[in-house]
């Protein structure tokens, strides 16, 4: 790697030259699932509009009572003086007075909510630069987060698409060139901060951006820590065993998206064509036939999918820890290709969630099992969506058991609840708890306790 100081911040990972992406991160030793490969605080963060006023603008923690900043007439809220002081020093003093006018302006109001959060994040990023930190452009200290930020690859942006930024109170002398330098690295280095997979903000984590490339079948994933009084922290965690010499990559989008959508998104936001193993495989599949709407044929397809993923029937206990689903994906028989059609997953998820909310538990358990088979093929091992879905399946089996609204015998429903809980715990434990207190791992424990009390 060109920059030994950046490398010294990462243990067990080396950056190697890569013809398509400048550098790629390679494991210098093997890592077991759940290992935290890199832990970094946000350089900049902005809450999504729906969370403003419910979470601290400094640490993103959700608290009942927040102090509001009197300077900007209640546009920024803090969990306490520690966050208010550090946010003031880092950025807020530069935008406090002008922020209310900025968010009321037509230019801001016309933006979709997602772009509004980016306009604020861009304003925060520019506001936190000071004249000492402009020097990295001319080659300043190389290991500071600001310097690492300026060493990032720019994305495929045009300045005409840049969102408006909040005028700075005192330092309106930030040169346009510098704003452009920030914006050009912005879209392709911008992470959605989530709590239990719900987006709560957007953040920039320069070192993580400098190190990790994208893959549609990643072996690592980010998770976020929210601690009162501290800026949100991102951990990049190994999802499965990573062998020495293997590239470590995360997924920049939802891996369940169809091939074409993934390619378009990666090209538009990040400016590259993905050549990962999965994309190479899918690019050769040619035309993907749409699934039939004939109920009989549709049932045949879902049966075939389940039989392929669970060849000896469904035994969640046995399936835990199986790591050969990704190989199964590449050996998928042609009659299963319609499951890769873009409407298959949204329609199946819709059937599952509608049926579980309406109390049609048998329909939900059936659709949910097909969905699990699909997820196991499409998602990398231990991807959190698999854990969240198996938890939903446990809750559905439990509700069917409690309500008695099911043709499945009670003993089987309680066994099913147990199976899905065991599965959910095994998957969710790999990334571990993240975001707000509570969350899926605690739900797993609560439901396990209820189940034990019954026995
Ligand atoms: C967050 S950076 C990743 C680190 C980058 N490789 C570097 O050397 O700084 C994102 C940028 O890296 C490149 N990149 C990341 N993953 C890639 C991939 N799978 N194929 C090609 N380019 C990739 C793209 O230019 C993208 O905009």
Cβ atoms of 399 and 361 within 8 Å: the answer is yes
Whether 210 and 342 share a structural domain: no
Cβ of residue 152 lying under 6 Å from some atom of ligand 1:
yes
Smallest CA separation from ligand 1 atom 1, residue: 209
Is residue 134's pLDDT more than 80?
Answer: no
Compute the average pLDDT of residues 6-35.
Answer: 89
Residue 399's contacts (CB-CB under 8 Å, 6 or more residues apart) are 356, 359, 361
In this prediction, residue 101 has a pLDDT band, given cuts at 50, 70 and 90, of very high
Whether 443 and 350 share a structural domain: yes
Name the residue of 16, 153, 234, 267 whose CB sits within 8 Å of the most ligand 1 atoms, as the mutation to test its pocket. 153
pLDDT at 260: 95
CA of 119 to the centre of ligand 1 (A): 23
Compute the average pLDDT of residues 289-298.
Answer: 94
Smallest CA separation from ligand 1 atom 8, residue: 23
Whether 351 and 209 share a structural domain: no
pLDDT tens, position by position, 161-205:
788 889 887 655 677 788 888 999 988 999 999 999 899 999 999
Mean pLDDT score of the chain:
90
The terminus-to-terminus CA distance of the chain in angstroms comes to 58
Cβ atoms of 168 and 185 within 8 Å: the answer is no
- In whole angstroms, give the CA distance from residue 126 to residue 175: 10
CATH number at residue 51: 2.170.270.10
In this prediction, residue 133 has a pLDDT band, given cuts at 50, 70 and 90, of low
Cβ of residue 213 lying under 6 Å from some atom of ligand 1:
yes
Among residues 91, 88, 85, 183, which one has the least CA distance to residue 130? 91
Whether 128 and 29 share a structural domain: yes
Whether 132 and 239 share a structural domain: yes
pLDDT tens, position by position, 23-77:
999 999 999 999 999 999 999 999 999 999 999 999 999 998 999 999 998 899 9
Whether 389 and 313 share a structural domain: yes
pLDDT at 163: 86
Q: Which atom of ligand 1 is nearest to the CA of 154?
A: 27
Whether 320 and 445 share a structural domain: yes
CA of 152 to the centre of ligand 1 (A): 9
Whether 143 and 245 share a structural domain: yes
Percent over 70 (pLDDT), the chain: 91
Full residue range of the structural domain in which residue 352 is found: 297-454
CA of 213 to the centre of ligand 1 (A): 5
Question: Does the residue 353 lie in any domain?
Answer: yes
Cβ atoms of 330 and 281 within 8 Å: the answer is yes
In this prediction, residue 4 has a pLDDT band, given cuts at 50, 70 and 90, of very low
Number of domains in the chain: 2
Compute the average pLDDT of residues 74-87.
Answer: 95
Is residue 382's pLDDT more than 80?
Answer: yes
Cβ of residue 272 lying under 6 Å from some atom of ligand 1:
yes
CA of 153 to the centre of ligand 1 (A): 7
In this prediction, residue 160 has a pLDDT band, given cuts at 50, 70 and 90, of low
Whether 246 and 307 share a structural domain: no
Question: Does the residue 271 lie in any domain?
Answer: no
Whether 148 and 242 share a structural domain: yes
Whether 218 and 337 share a structural domain: no
Q: Which atom of ligand 1 is nearest to the CA of 209?
A: 1
Whether 222 and 311 share a structural domain: no
Question: Does the residue 129 lie in any domain?
Answer: yes
CATH number at residue 344: 1.25.40
Is residue 316's pLDDT more than 70?
Answer: no
Question: Does the residue 279 lie in any domain?
Answer: no
pLDDT at 243: 96
Question: Does the residue 131 lie in any domain?
Answer: yes
Is residue 106's pLDDT more than 60?
Answer: yes
Question: Does the residue 157 lie in any domain?
Answer: yes
């Amino acid at each position: 790697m060109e920059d030994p100081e950046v490398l010294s911040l990462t243990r067990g990972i080396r950056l190697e030259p890569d013809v398509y992406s400048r550098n790629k991160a390679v494991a210098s030793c093997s890592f077991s699932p759940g290992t935290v490969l890199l832990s970094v605080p946000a350089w900049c963060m902005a809450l999504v509009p729906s969370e403003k006023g419910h979470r601290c603008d400094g640490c993103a923690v959700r608290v009942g009572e927040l102090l509001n900043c009197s300077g900007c007439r209640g546009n920024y809220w803090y969990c306490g003086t520690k966050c208010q002081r550090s946010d003031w020093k880092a950025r807020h003093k530069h935008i406090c007075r002008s922020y209310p006018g900025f968010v009321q302006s037509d230019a801001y109001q016309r933006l979709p909510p997602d772009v509004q959060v980016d306009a604020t994040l861009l304003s925060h990023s520019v506001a936190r630069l000071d004249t000492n930190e402009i020097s990295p452009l001319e080659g300043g200290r190389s290991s500071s987060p600001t310097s690492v930020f300026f060493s990032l690859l720019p994305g495929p942006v045009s300045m005409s698409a840049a969102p408006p930024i909040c005028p700075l109170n005192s330092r309106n002398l930030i040169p346009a060139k510098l704003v452009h330098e920030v914006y050009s690295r912005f879209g392709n280095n911008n992470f959605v901060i989530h709590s239990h997979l719900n987006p709560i903000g957007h953040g920039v984590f320069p070192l993580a951006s400098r190190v990790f490339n994208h893959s549609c079948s990643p072996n690592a994933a980010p998770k976020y820590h929210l601690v009162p009084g501290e800026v949100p922290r991102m951990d990049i965690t190994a999802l499965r065993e990573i062998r020495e010499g293997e590239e470590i990559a995360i997924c920049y989008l939802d891996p369940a998206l169809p091939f074409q959508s993934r390619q378009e998104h990666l090209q538009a936001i990040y400016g590259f064509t993905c050549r990962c193993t999965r994309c190479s495989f899918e690019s050769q599949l040619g035309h993907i036939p749409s699934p039939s709407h004939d109920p009989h044929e549709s049932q045949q397809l879902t049966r075939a999918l389940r039989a392929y993923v669970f060849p000896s029937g469904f035994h969640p206990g046995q399936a835990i820890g199986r790591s050969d689903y990704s190989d199964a994906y590449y050996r998928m028989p042609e009659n299963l290709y319609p499951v890769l059609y873009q409407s298959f997953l949204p329609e199946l998820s819709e059937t599952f969630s509608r049926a579980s909310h309406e109390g049609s538990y048998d329909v939900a358990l059936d659709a949910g099992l097909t969905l699990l088979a699909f997820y196991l093929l499409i998602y990398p091992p231990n991807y959190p969506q698999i854990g969240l879905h198996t938890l939903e399946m446990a809750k559905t089996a439990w509700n069917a058991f409690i309500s008695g609204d099911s043709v499945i015998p009670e003993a089987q429903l309680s066994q099913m609840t147990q199976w899905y809980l065991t599965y959910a715990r095994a998957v969710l434990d790999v990334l571990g708890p993240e975001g707000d207190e509570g969350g899926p791992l605690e739900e797993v424990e609560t439901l396990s306790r209820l189940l034990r009390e019954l026995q």
